[in-house]
Amino acid sequence: MFWDPTFLLMIPGLIITLWAQAKVKSAFNKFSKIGARSGITGAEVARHILNSNGLSGVGIEPVRGHLTDHYDPKEGILRLSDGVYNSQSISALGIAAHEAGHAVQHGVNYSALVVRTAIAPAAATGSKLGIWLFMIGWIIGIFTHAPITWLMDAGIILFSVAVIFTFVTLPVEYDASKRAIMVLEQGGFLTQDELPKAKAVLNAAAWTYVAAAATAVLMLIRLLILRGSRD
């Protein structure tokens, strides 16, 4: 975005992001080749979790793509990707249980999820508009030697909401994985030797959220440094 020395700050974020993506892809692919002894599919384990938590009204449907699994709180639908919905693999059960965990969080008004949902619209706007506002104020300063600092400040404030969102996401994802492993174990869907493999998949996925948070913080630091240089 800004080709100046502060761009070097983004390199660690880029490295951890690429590493996290490779890690989750590797773990998922590895254990997607190993079927769970229970013989249950991702959709079936998700349905069990939802029903046992009084969420029989939450629908489950397949969605195209690789690891595009997600719970849609607005429509009350759990969407599972091609490699999860009908799969009986350890990876599929872990991912399906994790996403069902988000539906359970929604059903019990899990505090961190409530906060994340509340700030999601502002975070989505801030992650894009915040950067653009800052860029406009900063670029004008390059050509006029009189940057529009209030515009840069507005951009930083908006982007800060996106940063907060990435950190609120961490406990939400951790809790969903914790719920998933607990159900998979207590429900007998995975054996004791299969559980560590499911944990490996979910732990790898968790690193993508850590990477997102780290990258967001580094970008915020960069914006603050650039802003300070214009005083």
* pLDDT single digits (tens) 155-210: 999 999 999 999 999 999 999 999 999 999 999 999 999 999 999 999 999 999 99
Find, among 100, 96, 113, 106, the residue nearest to 169 by Cα.
113
Per the structure, the complete domain to which residue 90 belongs is given by: 5-228
Query: Which listed residue (44, 61, 75, 99) is catalytic?
Result: 99
Residue 196: how many other CB atoms lie within 10 Å? 12
> Is 104 a residue whose pLDDT tops 90?
yes
C-alpha Rg value of the chain to the nearest Å: 21
The answer to pTM > 0.75 is yes
pLDDT score of 180? 97
> Is 112 a residue whose pLDDT tops 60?
yes
99 carries an active-site annotation: yes
Q: Say if CB 162 and CB 127 are below 8 A apart.
A: yes
> Is 212 a residue whose pLDDT tops 80?
yes
> Could you give the angle at the alpha carbon of 175 between the alpha carbons of 73 and 96, nearest 5°?
60
Give the number of domains in the chain: 1
Tokens, residue 51: 């029903």
Q: What's the rounded Cα separation, in Å, for the pair 164 and 131?
A: 15
Q: For residue 185, give the amino acid letter.
A: E
> Is 225 a residue whose pLDDT tops 80?
yes
> Could you give the angle at the alpha carbon of 55 between the alpha carbons of 193 and 82, nearest 5°?
55
